[in-house]
Amino acid sequence: MIARFTDCLRLFSGVFILSLVLAGCSEPPREFNETVFTMGTLVEVTIIGEEEALTDRAYAAILDDFSYMHNTWHPWQRNALARINSLLKTGAPFSLAPSILPLIERSKQLSGQSNGLFNPAIGGLVKLWGFHQDDLEEIFGPPEPAAIGAFLQDMPQMSDIDFKNLTMHGRNPNIHLDFGGFAKGMAVDNTIAHLREFGINNAIINAGGDLRAIGQNGSRPWRIGIRDPRGEDVFASIEISGDESVFTSGDYERYFTVDNKRYHHIIDPRTGYPADQTRSVTVLHSDAATADAAATALFIAGPQQWHSIARTMGIKFVMLIDKAGKVHMNPAMAKRIEFNNRRPDISLSKPL
Ligand code: ADP
Ligand code: MG
C-alpha cells in the first residue's frame, strides 16, 4: 500500500543495512545518508564516494521522483490511477495516462508469471478487508464471508484488462488496481536508474526495509541483515554487491488481531482471505519490481508451492519462513545466508 503512515515507525521492517557499521577501512570514502518520509514509508538513501554537490542534486531529484510517483500511483486518491480505475469498471474503451502504462504492463506480466497469486486487480478485496486505510485500528473484524464469496464469484484478473498502445478497456466490473504489492519495487528501480543518470554507481535505496543496492560499500560488499519475523532482531545476514534487490513480504507488516487471530494484508486471491501458511518471504533479484511482486506471490504460494512459482517467475534466491518457523530455501540462497545465532530448522529444496 503506498500510503502507510504507520510505516514511519518501522524503517527497517524487513532488512537492516549492516555494512555501514561493519566497514572499517582506514580512510572510508565519503558517505551520503539521508532518510525521508515519502510514498507512505521511510526511505533511506545511501550514496558512497561522490562529491557533496552531486549527491545533493541527485537526492533532490529522487525526492521529486518519489513525490510524483506517490501522487500518481496512490490507489485510493483522486489521481491518474483513480480515473483509470473508474473507467475500467465501465467496460468501455478509454485512453490511458502514459504515467501508469509501465505499471500496468509490468504487473500484467508478473501476475501471469505468478499464476495469478500476485494480482494487483484485487484492490476491491483489499478494501473489503480495510487494508486500504492508513489506520488499521478502525477495523473491528474480518468482512462477512458472504461479501468475500460474492467477490470470489467474479474475481478480477490482470488478464481482464486489454490495451493496445494507449487505448484500454476492462472486462470485469470488480477490477480496482492497487499496486501496493509492487509499487515500492517500481519506485526503487526508477530512482536507482535516475541515480545512475547522475553517474552514481555505489548506492542503496532502502524503502521501509526493502532495497536495491548497486556497486559496493567502499572496498566491501554491502551487508544486509534480515529481520526475524517474530522479533525485532537481525536473524540472518547476506552480502550483496554489483546490483541486487532484497525484498521481504511479512505477516507482521500490517495486520489486525481479533480473538487472537492475526489478519494481515497479503490476500490469497484463491480464497479471498489473508494467506495463512507463511510468516515471511525474502527474495533476491536484480530488479526491485520483480523482487517485490515475487515476495508477495511466494508468500501466498506458501511452503508447498513457492518453488514452482519461483521458477515461473525466474527467481533464483528465496528464503521462506513458514507458519511454524521452519526456514525453506533453495540451495543457492542457503549458500549466501548466514544465520546469526542458532541455526533454525531448515528445509532445503531442489535447485531453482
Ligand atoms: P509490503 O508493501 O508491506 O512490503 P507487499 O509487497 O507484500 O508488502 O504488498 C502488500 C500489499 O499489496 C497490500 O497492502 C495490498 O495493497 C496489496 N496486495 C494484497 N494482496 C495482494 C495480491 N494477492 N496481489 C497483489 N497485491 C496484493
Ligand atoms: Mg511485494
**Interval 188-215: pLDDT, tens:** 999 999 999 999 999 999 999 999 999 9
pLDDT of res. 327: 97
> How far is ligand 2, taken at its centre, from the CA of residue 118, in Å?
8
Alpha-carbon distance of 252 to 3, in angstroms, equals 17
Ligand 1 pocket, residue 206 CB under 6 Å: no
Instruction: For ligand 1, say whether the CB of 278 is within 6 Å of any of its atoms.
Output: no
Q: What is the model's pLDDT at position 245?
A: 98
Band of residue 241 on the pLDDT scale cut at 50, 70, 90? confident
> How high is the mean pLDDT of the chain?
91
Could you give the residue ranges of the DSSP H alpha helices within the chain? 19-22, 52-73, 80-90, 101-113, 123-129, 145-153, 183-197, 288-313, 331-336
pLDDT of residue 11: 42
CA distance 335 to 330: 9
Pocket test for ligand 1, best of 85, 265, 281 (most atoms within 8 A of CB): 265
Query: What pLDDT does residue 15 have?
Result: 63
d(CA 175, CA 160): 8
Among the atoms of ligand 1, which is closest to the Cα of residue 182?
6
Nearest residue (by CA) to ligand 1, atom 5, is: 181
Q: Which pLDDT value is given to residue 216?
A: 94
Which of 290, 296, 298 for a ligand 1 pocket mutation test, highest count of atoms within 8 Å of Cβ?
A: 296
Total residues belonging to the chain:
352
In the numeric block, the cell 554491502 is attached to 222
- List the one residue out of 4, 6, 8, 18 whose CA is nearest residue 211: 18
- Does ligand 1 have an atom closer than 6 angstroms to the CB of 291? no
| Better pLDDT: 187 or 3 | 187
Helix, strand, or coil (residue 214): strand
| Ligand 2 centroid from CA 52, angstroms | 33
| DSSP codes joined into one string, 107-159 | HHHHHHHTTTSS-TTBHHHHHHHTTTSS-GGG--SPPPHHHHHHHHHT---GG
Q: What is the pLDDT of residue 140?
A: 82
DSSP 165: T
Average the pLDDT over each of 74-78, 166-170, 179-183, 263-267 and give the range with the smallest value. 74-78
- Of the chain, the percentage scoring pLDDT greater than 90 comes to 80
Task: Report the nearest atom of ligand 1 relative to the CA of 184.
Answer: 2
251 lines ligand 1 (CB under 6 A): no
pLDDT single digits (tens) 2-55: 333 333 333 445 566 775 444 444 677 899 999 999 988 999 999 999 999 999
pTM (global) more than 0.85: yes
Closest approach atom of ligand 1 to CA 14 = 4
Report the run of H or E that residue 251 belongs to, with start and end. none
**pLDDT average, residue stretch 253-282:** 95
Ligand 1: centre distance to CA 291 (Å) = 13
**Kind and range of the H or E element at 32?**
strand 31-38
pLDDT tens digit sequence for 104-151: 999 999 999 999 999 999 999 999 999 998 888 888 899 999 999 999
Cell numbers found for residue 47: 550514496
* DSSP conformation class of 96: P
Q: How far is CA 198 from CA 193, 209, 243, in A?
A: 9, 24, 17
End-to-end CA distance of the chain: 30
Task: Identify which ligand lies nearest to the alpha carbon of 249.
Answer: 1
Range of weakest confidence among 72-76, 87-91, 196-200: 72-76
Q: Residue with the nearest Cα to atom 26 of ligand 1? A: 181
Domains and CATH numbers, the chain: 1-352 (3.10.520.10)
> What is the average pLDDT across 250-261?
91
Residue nearest ligand 1's atom 1 by CA: 249
Tell me what pLDDT residue 22 has: 47
Is the CB of 269 inside a 6 Å radius of any atom of ligand 1? yes
CA distances to 43, 69, 193, 287, 335 from 35, in Å: 5, 17, 19, 22, 32
| Distance from the alpha carbon of residue 351 to the mean position of ligand 1, in angstroms | 27
For 142-178, how does the pLDDT look when each residue is reduced to its tens digit (9 = 90+)? Answer: 999 999 999 999 999 999 999 999 999 999 999 999 9
Amino acid 39: pLDDT: 87
CB of 179 closer than 6 A to ligand 1? Answer: no
Half-sphere exposure of 274 (CA within 13 A, CB side): 27
Task: Confirm if 251 and 14 have CB atoms less than 8 A apart.
Answer: no
Cell 477495523 locates to 139
Question: Which residues make beta-bridge pairs with 270?
Answer: none
How far apart are the CA of 28 and the centre of ligand 2, in A? 34
- Residue range 225-237: mean pLDDT, rounded: 88
| DSSP 8-state assignment for residue 252 | T
Q: What pLDDT is attached to residue 6?
A: 35
